[in-house]
Chains A and B, each alone.
Chain A
Amino acid sequence: RKEVEQDPGPFNVPEGATVAFNCTYSNSASQSFFWYRQDCRKEPKLLMSVYSSGNEDGRFTAQLNRASQYISLLIRDSKLSDSATYLCVVSHGNEKLTFGTGTRLTIIP
């Protein structure tokens, strides 16, 4: 079983729609959680950290459920520029990051 699992997609979503991604992790000792965004052939860029209380940044909302070892990302009012691969990333507190394979999102005009 992979340490971080995501639905690879692709998700093809019309502009303006709401889309949600899920991610599960296997190591219950994981301490830090992130969503990164990666555009084609580019480096990953931090989208947001994920906290147990949930956090929101503009159109993006992230949730963490430690009991279920589950992380989610919600994108509201999707824009064409949101098209990218979204990476679920987990850290065990030793600075090493473990990446999921990513969920590919395409926003359709």
Chain B
Amino acid sequence: GAVVSQHPSRVICKSGTSVKIECRSLDFQATTMFWYRQFPKQSLMLMATSNEGSKATYEQGVEKDKFLINHASLTLSTLTVTSAHPEDSSFYICSARVHLNPYGYTFGSGTRLTVV
């Protein structure tokens, strides 16, 4: 149980275009979803926390107008990278807290974004 489905797993896009990444909780309700970014050989860095029905909370240095987060339902959160540039190329991954297990965080399988 407690699966987060993330799509797409890999995307290549042209500079200036926008890319949407979806994370769905399949068998539980995720009131909070965390969005991370991981550059090669670096740690996962929290970008933002999305809460169902309210505005996302962004970490310092993350542009909220560039990384649009929508969490319109208890089972779906989306991250849209707008006007993507090559430096946005990274591994994006979502995570949700599984409340049945106080120490449980389940992760999506990640999206590898390449901007050319």
Contacts and interface: CB of A to CB of B under 8 A. Distances in A.
Interface of A: 4, 8, 32, 34, 41-46, 49, 87, 95-102
Interface of A is mostly: strand
A42 B10 CA distance: 12
15 contacts: A32-B103, A42-B109, A42-B110, A43-B108, A46-B105, A49-B103, A87-B43, A87-B44, A95-B97, A97-B44, A97-B105, A98-B46, A99-B45, A101-B42, A101-B43
Contacts, number: 46
Interface of B: 32, 34, 36, 41-46, 49, 91, 93, 95, 97, 103-105, 107-110, 112
Contacts of A87: 43-44
Of B32, B34, B44, B49, most A-chain CB atoms within 10 Å: B44
Nearest to B105: A97
A9 B114 CA distance: 27
A44 B104 CA distance: 12
Of B49, B93, B107, most A-chain CB atoms within 10 Å: B107
